[in-house]
Homo-oligomer: A and B are copies of this chain.
Amino acid sequence: MQSERELIERIARLTAVREGVTLGLGDDAAVVAGDPLSVVTQDLLVDGVHFRRGTSSLADIGHKAVAVNLSDLAAMGAVPVAVFIGLGLPVDDPLGADDIDALYAGMESLAAIHGVTIAGGDVTRAPALILAVTAIGHMPAGIAPCRRSTARPGDVVCVTGTLGGAAAGLLLLDQPNLATNIAEADALRDASRRPTPRLQAGQRLAAGEATAMMDCSDGLALDALRLADASQVGMEIDLEAVPLAPGVIAVARAAGRAADLLAATGGDDYELIVTVPAALVDDLAARIDVPLTSVGRVVDGSGLTLLRNGVAVDAPTLGWEHRFD
């Protein structure tokens, strides 16, 4: 019927924000009143859409299901506390006891790293393997959740870590004969299957003077546009500044793709996009446990401009968006 964005806007119009909710639909996570403030996010992951049992182990799938939710908490600056797992089990291709163990081992190992409890959930029969994950976190005392609607013209646009790794890894998973001699192949495949939520970076950036933040799950270009739209500003991204994961250039060349566009539009990297006053970039970079790279700027106006060495570039797609036509 419509795009994911149109659908979410429609749902927002159909619902009202009531007492106890500080921030409702439209950001990486919602904020619920209390001391501390609670930050809550939910994702629904479906076999064949968000992961594939053919190319990901059940431990990988468990890891990714928890990671993508923790990434949403990271994007608000929250400290994760608990996750809830709604598990839909396929009737015609049932999981064995070993499969269940592997799935939860994948979740639990990531949860343990971040002090998170798998605190509840539900199990039911379903037409495919489905993981509904809810994550709840707390804001540190005195720190406001970092929203995506508060970027200001003049801010620098930065990203954590590197981009393109997940997209290059997915190409390698889809085409096993592609670029078989690339040294970084295993790391790239893992970037696709086992993303790392940037929790420390998110907390430090929110506690610093970052003006807006969101996670980069559907591609830098599309998510930067969403951040710009939410903030009612424009944004320019310099493709030559985008930090590429090692091996992305070689995979892109083998696949006949432009490496910078693959990295800027490929999605699934779960790095953070953050807007920062220019004078603070170096200071914030020194506080976080991953690289922070300036990739563009917030401008007056609206929309996103992709630039390659100063020249505007048309991308065939900005990123990954569900359609429901």
Which residues of A are in contact with B by a Cβ distance under 8 Å? 1-2, 4, 7-8, 10-11, 14-21, 23-25, 29-30, 32-36, 38, 40-46, 48-50, 81-82, 84-89, 94-97, 100-101, 104-105, 107-108, 111-112, 115-128, 130, 132, 134, 136, 138, 322, 324-325
Contacts and interface: CB of A to CB of B under 8 A. Distances in A.
Contact of A15 (B21, B44, B117, B134): B117
Given A1-B95, A89-B324, A136-B136, A30 B119 contact: yes
A296 to B, nearest CB: 27
A72 to B, nearest CB: 9
B20 A81 contact: yes
B86 A44 contact: yes
A2 B101 CA distance: 13
Contacts of A32: 38, 81-82, 119, 136
Number of copies: 2
Tell which of A8, A123, A138 has the most Cβ of chain B within 10 Å.
Answer: A123
Contact of A17 (B10, B117, B123, B322): B117
Contacts of A86: 42-44, 86, 132
B122 A42 contact: yes
B34 A121 contact: no
Contacts of A34: 34-36, 38, 138
A45 to B, nearest CB: 8
B1 A122 contact: no
Contact of A119 (B14, B21, B101, B138): B21
B8 A40 contact: no
Contacts of A126: 44, 46, 49, 128, 130
Given A21-B117, A34-B36, A82-B32, A8 B134 contact: no
B101 A14 contact: yes
B124 A50 contact: yes
Contacts of A19: 81, 115
B325 A94 contact: yes
**Which of A86, A100, A111 has the most CB atoms of chain B within a 10 A radius of its CB?**
A86
Nearest to A50: B124
Contacts of A112: 16, 18
A82 B21 contact: yes
Contacts of A118: 11, 15, 24-25
Centre residue among A7, A41, A132 by max chain B CB count within 10 A: A132
B43 A120 contact: no
Contact of A21 (B29, B41, B81): B81
A246 B135 CA distance: 42
B125 A324 contact: yes
A44 B119 contact: no
A16 B127 contact: no
